[in-house]
Amino acid sequence: MNVRHWYGIRRLYEASFRDRLLLLLVIVIGAYYLTWSVVQWVTLTPAALQFDFVNYFGGAQAAAHGTDIYADFKRSWGSEAWVVAYIYPPFFALVLAPLTSLGLLAAARIWLLAVHAAFFGSLALILRIHPELSRGGRRLLLLASLGFMPVYLNLKFQQVATIWLLLMTAALWAALQRRAGLAGAFIAAAASLKVSPIFLIPLFARLGRWRIAVLASVTLVGLTVVTMLAAPGSLQFFTVVLPRIGLGTANWDNGSIDGLVSRIAQLAPGLFGGATQTVAKVVIVAAAVIVIGITLWRAHDSGEQVWTLRLSVAALITALLTVSSVTWQHHLVTLLLPVATGIAWITVRRPGARYGWWLFAAYAMCWMDRRAFPLPADLQVHSSTQAALVLAGTSVKLVGLLLLWTLLLQMLRVEQHMASVRRPDQSVAGAAARPAA
């Protein structure tokens, strides 16, 4: 019996019905997002700000008064400083400084509105960058975005991931528009909020967009010098913060390769005898070099330049999350740009159903949280069976990242293959067009 002929199933093969269904789902999830956000904003209390925003605010207050921007952070976290929380760079403290006169709660509410604005601004730019998306494709992207768990975690903890997403999306938009100065400024701003976007500079150089790479480098250096002069104690960001956060953390919520290797080293400290920690550090560094290196190597300019640029940026964003020292689930908000690029590419190239399922599997695994698995409630491992379960349950996001990264690299490979096929055809056509001597 062919279930495709069943009434309910048959309707799903009708484009108009699918579009109406997607629109209905977008309206429902949009209403949920609006309700959830309004409730959070109205009921926001100082107790709900016990996470990173308190540290952001403390650093901003210090920047406004010309004192050590990391003093409050170190008092709050003690021995866990530089390892657990988001260590804000000097630029971020200066950006928030004007809000400090309003008080903690008012500043948090304004910041929360800025986070929402960055999210919707990112979605608008993403849709603009991908004009190939059909009406159904745009609705699917909105549904995936408004229903993405990391988006709600980012809002719950008043995080900065939507700001990173907006800046990186804006940099890609400016590059596509051939506005090198704007692209460089957006890259510099993104790298000043979180270091990893700095790898966009070698990526654009690899793609032959040297003007963007140079302008981004110069702007970043200038912005760094200005913020260091304006924020006392900011030199610590380079002498203490960066060396320490590079060590990563074995925290169960760290979804990067660094997190997985750190957890293995913690659960099996004698795996390589006294050299276990050294081996773990070597593996972490090697993974970062290999993943980022492969991404940059595969990103050389070939095929249609628009697709090469979009796919390369998408692959790099995914690669950076994969090998970052710390990748919390709310950081995965930035995956909305790679996911949109994947949907648009599949819409245009129509490579087969497996690409769509591949993308869906990556999205689903990045959506999922470790709390969906029966892991020890006390966060302590008491047996080898529990150790294996913990390693599996805390690595689901990493598997999703690796799936998405390899998918985007495969799309790049297809583009490059198509370009290599077209070139001989063009050469033959050119030769045929030339008159005989």
Q: Helices marked H in 147-179 — which ranges? A: 149-156, 161-176
Q: What is the pLDDT of residues 313-330, one digit of tens each?
A: 999 999 999 999 889 999
pLDDT band at 90 (very low <50, low <70, confident <90, very high): confident
CA atoms within 13 A on the CB side of 260: 21
The domain ranges of the chain are 247-415
Give me the residue label for tokens 């050119």: 430
Contact 135, 22 (CB under 8 A): no
> What are 222-231's pLDDT values in tens digits?
998 888 888 7
Asked if pLDDT for residue 83 goes beyond 90, the answer is no
Q: What is the average per-residue pLDDT within 150-164?
A: 92
Among 170, 219, 196, CA closest to 86: 196
Give the DSSP per-residue string, 367-386.
H--GGGS---TTS---SHHH
Residue-level pLDDT at 199? 96
Task: For residue 290, give every residue at least 6 positions away whose Cβ sits within 8 Å of its Cβ, in sequence order, or none.
Answer: none
- Whole-angstrom CA distances from 353 to 346, 347, 359, 435 are 9, 11, 10, 45
Average pLDDT of 78-84? 51
Asked if residue 78 has pLDDT above 70, the reply is: no
Q: Measured between alpha carbons, how far is 322 from 196 in angstroms, rounded to an integer?
A: 11
Per-residue confidence (pLDDT) for residue 18, from 0 to 100: 78
Name the least confident of 16-25, 50-59, 183-192, 422-431: 422-431
Task: Report which of 318, 313, 320 is spatially closest to residue 299, judged by C-alpha positions.
Answer: 313
Answer whether residue 137 shows pLDDT above 80: yes
**pLDDT value at position 261?**
94
Spatial CA neighbour of 279 closest among 289, 269, 291? 269
Tokens of 125: 């730019």
Query: What pLDDT, on the 0 to 100 scale, is given for residue 437?
Result: 37
Q: Is the pTM of this model over 0.85?
A: yes
Structure confidence by residue, pLDDT tens digits, 307-316: 999 999 999 9
pLDDT at position 291 = 97
pLDDT for the residue numbered 428? 47
- Give how far Cα 269 sits from Cα of 252, 278, 288, Å: 17, 11, 22
What is the C-alpha separation between 203 and 146, in angstroms, rounded? 30
